[in-house]
Structure 1
Amino acid sequence: MTTGPRIEQLVTAGTFSLDGGTWDVDNNVWIVGDDEEVIVIDAAHDVEAIAAAVGARTLRAIVCTHAHNDHIDAAPALAERTGAPILLHADDLPLWRQTHPDRAPDGELTDGQTLTVAGTELQVLHTPGHAPGAVCLFAPALQALFSGDTLFAGGPGATGRSFSDFGTIIVSLREKLLTLPGATTVHTGHGPTTTIAEEAPHLPEWIDRGF
């Protein structure tokens, strides 16, 4: 029996490298769809584990919330295995090329674009700051936001490295994310989920602290 659209979480382990440093990280890989077809949000680290989680279902797209290496390192191998296109916002191509200089993404994500899988629409929100081409995906029917590294439980994503800017991420949060319905569950790129209602009241604190 076919079940309706759902959200599945896979946690993979690897490293994040930028500006000459490398750190061990655990990443959330999100799979959205049903028993027939899915999309993968952020193909991180472990192509075998991601492919196993997808199983026999059709993979419609590999969506990259941004192009830091820990979110895209398994994307080309997963695309080769499944035939699914890799989608990335064009502003993150310089970061993408640091990890995959010889393999470009297959398509562009743009602000306001709608992706559809298993009858469920996901709205692309361009949310620069953590990275210039960072995007989030909002699925109203699932009351879900896939925030990548733009918003976490407890604050915004880091902006202390190359290609990032604190003022820009604050604008993205204020104008694109914290205006979403409070009941929206935020599925983050690392760590636990949260909700818009939990995070929205803290924006002034983040600004004051230069989070």
Structure 2
Amino acid sequence: MIEKLVTSGTFSLDGGTWDVDNNVWIIGDSTEVIVIDAAHDAEAIAAAIGDRTVKAIACTHAHNDHIDAAPALARLTGAPILLHPADLELWRMTHPDTAPDGDLSDGQVLTVAGADLTVVHTPGHAPGAICLHGPELGAVFSGDTLFQGGPGATGRSFSDFPTIITSIEKRLLTLPADTIVHTGHGVSTTIGGEAPHLLDWITRGH
């Protein structure tokens, strides 16, 4: 099962603050789940989970809008918070007194309800940005690395456009074309749907 919950709040970085809607992804079955990106509203996420066991709260990156509810959700569910260590500096901007419980590393496999989610390190939007690829689900959870229409934003601190393009080219466009891309904001897309204009970008060196 793949469930999507949309929560609303703000994203703040480099002195600016913007209103945002975030996708919270809940993957599992009737007994256990993994939560991808605990955004804004821990109680709403906990209500969507119900009495199911939360095996992990996986963070695709540590921008505040993707992690602001993570410690509260961890307290409500007893689940560990997992983050790529390259994003610890960003994490501390939001939660200076709380650390993640464990690391996410490239190639690591998280298993829930018989399905494997493989961690794919995709820096660029943030140094520790990761995607989670579920081959049995025919899906990749891309955080803010890839959206319908192109890559995630790279105009702020800790981000780099050539790096995100390399991550997408080497780590995501190699997935099957029919892989569904479940994004951190907005609507889902597919690898095949995004590949043509991304490859054009890469070919032109942009």
Global fold match (TM > 0.5): yes
Q: How many residues align?
A: 205
* 3-state SS, counterpart of residue 116 of structure 1: strand
**Letter of the structure 1 residue corresponding to residue 108 of structure 2:** Q
1:77 to 64, 72, 77: 72
Normalising by structure 2, report the TM-score: 0.98
Deviation of 1:48 (Å): 1.0
Deviation of 1:203 (Å): 1.4
**Aligned 1:16-95 pairs, distance under 5 A:** 16-95=11-90
Name 2:101's counterpart in structure 1.
106
Structure 1: distance between partners of 2:77 and 2:43: 12
Deviation of 1:206 (Å): 3.4
Deviation of 1:59 (Å): 0.5
Structure 2: distance between partners of 1:98 and 1:202: 35
* 3-state SS, counterpart of residue 66 of structure 2: helix
**Does 1:175 find its partner at 2:170?**
yes
For structure 1, list consecutive stretches of 5 or more residues without a partner in the other structure.
Answer: 1-5
1:97 to 77, 92, 95: 92
Name 1:3's counterpart in structure 2.
none
CA displacement, residues 54-95 of structure 1 (integer Å, 9 cap, x when unaligned): 000000000000000000000000001111000000000000
1:201 to 185, 192, 196: 196
CA displacement, residues 181-211 of structure 1 (integer Å, 9 cap, x when unaligned): 011000000000000000011114434484x
**Letter of the structure 2 residue corresponding to residue 169 of structure 1:** I
1:166 to 161, 165, 173: 161
**Does 1:116 find its partner at 2:75?**
no
Structure 1: distance between partners of 2:174 and 2:28: 25
Q: Would the alpha carbon gap of residues 184 and 205 (structure 1) be closer, same or farther in structure 2, given more than 3 Å must change?
A: same
Structure 2: distance between partners of 1:146 and 1:81: 24
* 3-state SS, counterpart of residue 98 of structure 2: coil
Q: Does structure 2 retain, via aligned residues, the 8 Å contact 1:121–1:141?
A: yes
Structure 1: distance between partners of 2:113 and 2:92: 31
Please list every run of at least 4 consecutive aligned residues from structure 1 whose deviation after the TM superposition is greater than 4 angstroms.
Answer: 207-210
For structure 2, list consecutive stretches of 5 or more residues without a partner in the other structure.
Answer: none
Normalising by structure 1, report the TM-score: 0.95
What is the CA RMSD across the aligned residues, in angstroms? 0.9
* 3-state SS, counterpart of residue 32 of structure 1: strand
Q: Would the alpha carbon gap of residues 209 and 192 (structure 1) be closer, same or farther in structure 2, given more than 3 Å must change?
A: farther
Q: Does structure 2 retain, via aligned residues, the 8 Å contact 1:155–1:206?
A: no
**Letter of the structure 2 residue corresponding to residue 106 of structure 1:** D
CA displacement, residues 101-135 of structure 1 (integer Å, 9 cap, x when unaligned): 00000000000000000010000000000000000
**Letter of the structure 1 residue corresponding to residue 54 of structure 2:** L
Q: Would the alpha carbon gap of residues 62 and 155 (structure 1) be closer, same or farther in structure 2, given more than 3 Å must change?
A: same
